[in-house]
């Protein structure tokens, strides 16, 4: 990079995670001149720190917030159905193995009250075209004998599973590069402004100096840093950091072919091809703090031992044999959630040409959202499938924004 140099691109993508690199892949294939800027290394954020679950059932986090949240969460099922097809074809699309395993998923229940909640969830999913079904205690025992015989039952979806988050982003990035996209790592967006002609001016800073970029479009796909970057333009994107924990055990023989979730407790669990058991489910870790007590999002979160013990206790209650395994490692990763828990994906009304893509479920939904977003960017209008995720639902937050 040369200080003072100005380069022109059709779009600047800020963030080298799954959505950023997948969007670059699609946009480069559609003929755009693409620059991806990542301040660290590719896949350094939530895209590479999550456990790789492909959960297409309505998540527990929607069900636990009451009927309205459950109804809102159900709206995501339409996109989940598209995501299933996306994941089925992703290895062929990228012409490489990605450790995608779609052998099915179980959302388990321990009580009759939880079984009633599962029945409510499954009925809503079936109405929307997702082929979930309720299993009673005996049916669950037959399908998954390694799980506790005390479980009351489960919801089963044959298409759920998991993929390897450590290799997926590299596959999209390499493919984007082959299509002509430029991918720069170790450079951070340090300034962003809109010119009077509506184009954007960006300054990217790295060890070799500054790179100045002129572009009609910018995509902010940098997870919990998106609000900070949008703030450079005086805009408000209601995304909030969610620091989480994941754990992995030693290897064992194949005992768990399915993705496991819990309708009444925070849990996700699956077994890798190597035999390790991965355990997560949304238990919080602890954000680092600055000297003044405010969150420091530039430093990794730390493991919260109370929550780790609780996470492992739920996992062992669901799968008793887990108590015989050794815990190898626990790590943290910080994702983000929006004010209504749905992803925020699309163009910001107050800033034409500025797009964002961040929020929950962006490993499961990332590939299909990237494809739909690329179509939006090129065609100029969002497809119906993106309507519930558009930033316009928070447009009132930018009522006092002033841009050229």
Does residue 54 belong to any structural domain of this protein? no
Say which CATH number the domain at 284 has.
3.30.9.10
179 and 304 co-located in one domain: no
Of 338, 354, 371, the one marking the end of a domain is 338
Of 299, 320, 338, the one marking the end of a domain is 338
Say which CATH number the domain at 17 has.
3.50.50.60
- The helix/strand/coil state of 377 is helix
Identify the pLDDT of residue 12: 98
Summarize pLDDT for 221-260 with one digit per residue, the tens: 999 999 999 999 999 999 999 999 999 999 999 999 999 9
203 and 352 co-located in one domain: yes
**Contact between residue 124 and residue 74 where contact means Cβ atoms under 8 Å apart:** yes
Query: Across the strands, what pairs with 106?
Result: 156, 260
Does residue 278 belong to any structural domain of this protein? yes
378 and 268 co-located in one domain: no
Identify the pLDDT of residue 5: 76
First to last CA, the chain: 29
Summarize pLDDT for 259-314 with one digit per residue, the tens: 999 999 999 999 998 999 999 999 999 999 999 999 999 999 999 999 999 999 99
Does residue 134 belong to any structural domain of this protein? yes
Does residue 89 belong to any structural domain of this protein? no
Q: Distance between alpha carbon 32 and the CA centroid of its chain, in Å?
A: 25
**Contact between residue 239 and residue 336 where contact means Cβ atoms under 8 Å apart:** yes
Q: Using alpha carbons, select from 266, 223, 256, 232 the residue that is nearest to residue 356.
A: 223
CA angle 52, 53, 54 (to 5 degrees): 120
247 and 328 co-located in one domain: yes
The alpha helices in 98-232, defined as continuous H runs, are: 112-127, 137-143, 165-178, 226-230
Identify the pLDDT of residue 159: 97
Q: Can you spell out the DSSP letters for 306-318?
A: HHHHHHHHHHHHH
151 and 251 co-located in one domain: yes
Q: Which two tokens stand for residue 272?
A: 């890798």
Does residue 29 belong to any structural domain of this protein? yes
245 and 319 co-located in one domain: yes
Question: CA-CA distance, 312 to 280, in Å (whole number)?
Answer: 9
328 and 362 co-located in one domain: no
Does residue 254 belong to any structural domain of this protein? yes
Of 338, 363, 387, the one marking the end of a domain is 338
C-alpha Rg value of the chain to the nearest Å: 21
Does residue 90 belong to any structural domain of this protein? no
Domain count, the chain: 2
Identify the pLDDT of residue 68: 63
245 and 320 co-located in one domain: yes
Does residue 197 belong to any structural domain of this protein? yes
Identify the pLDDT of residue 47: 86
326 and 247 co-located in one domain: yes
Question: CA-CA distance, 161 to 258, in Å (whole number)?
Answer: 6
**Domain span at 252:** 102-159+240-338
Low-confidence stretches of the chain (pLDDT beneath 50)? 1-2
152 and 253 co-located in one domain: yes
**pTM of the shown model:** 0.94
Cα separations in angstroms, 97 against 136, 159, 168: 35, 18, 9
The b/e string for 52-67 (b: 16+ C-beta within 10 A; e otherwise) is bbbbbbbbbbbbeeee
152 and 250 co-located in one domain: yes
232 and 352 co-located in one domain: yes
Identify the pLDDT of residue 1: 47
């Amino acid at each position: 990079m040369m200080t003072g140099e100005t380069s022109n691109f059709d779009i600047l993508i800020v963030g080298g995670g799954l959505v950023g690199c997948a969007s670059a892949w699609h946009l480069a294939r559609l003929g755009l001149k693409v620059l991806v800027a990542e301040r660290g290394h590719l896949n350094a954020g939530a895209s590479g720190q999550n456990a790789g679950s492909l959960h297409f059932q309505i998540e527990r986090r929607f069900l636990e917030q009451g009927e309205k949240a459950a109804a809102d969460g159900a709206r995501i099922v339409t996109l989940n159905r598209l995501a299933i097809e996306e994941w089925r074809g992703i290895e062929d699309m990228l012409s490489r193995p990605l450790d995608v395993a779609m052998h099915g998923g179980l959302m388990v229940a321990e009580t009759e009250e939880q079984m009633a909640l599962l029945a409510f969830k499954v009925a809503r999913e079936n109405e929307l075209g997702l082929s979930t079904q309720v299993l009673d205690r005996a049916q669950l025992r037959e399908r998954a004998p390694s799980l506790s015989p005390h479980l009351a039952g489960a919801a089963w979806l044959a298409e759920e599973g998991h993929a390897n988050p450590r290799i997926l982003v590299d596959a999209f990035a390499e493919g984007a590069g082959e299509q002509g996209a430029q991918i720069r790592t170790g450079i951070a967006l340090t300034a962003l402004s809109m010119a009077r002609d509506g184009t954007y001016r960006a300054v990217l800073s790295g060890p070799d100096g500054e790179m100045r970029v002129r572009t009609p479009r910018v995509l902010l796909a940098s997870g919990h840093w998106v609000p900070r970057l949008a703030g450079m333009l005086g805009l408000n994107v209601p995304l909030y950091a969610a620091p989480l924990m994941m754990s992995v055990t030693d290897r064992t023989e194949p005992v768990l072919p399915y993705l496991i979730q819990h309708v009444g407790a925070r849990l996700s669990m699956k077994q890798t091809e190597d035999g390790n058991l991965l355990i997560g489910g949304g238990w919080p870790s602890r954000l680092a703090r600055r000297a003044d007590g405010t969150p420091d999002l530039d430093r990794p979160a730390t493991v919260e031992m109370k929550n780790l013990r609780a996470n492992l206790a739920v996992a062992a209650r669901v799968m008793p044999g887990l108590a015989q395994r050794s815990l190898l490692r626990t790590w943290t990763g910080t994702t983000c959630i929006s004010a209504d828990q749905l992803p925020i994906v699309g163009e910001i009304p107050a800033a034409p040409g500025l797009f964002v893509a961040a929020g929950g479920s962006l490993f499961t939904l990332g590939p299909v959202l990237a494809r739909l977003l690329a179509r939006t960017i090129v065609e100029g209008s969002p497809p119906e499938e993106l309507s519930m995720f558009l930033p316009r639902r928070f447009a009132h937050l930018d009522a006092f924004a002033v841009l050229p």
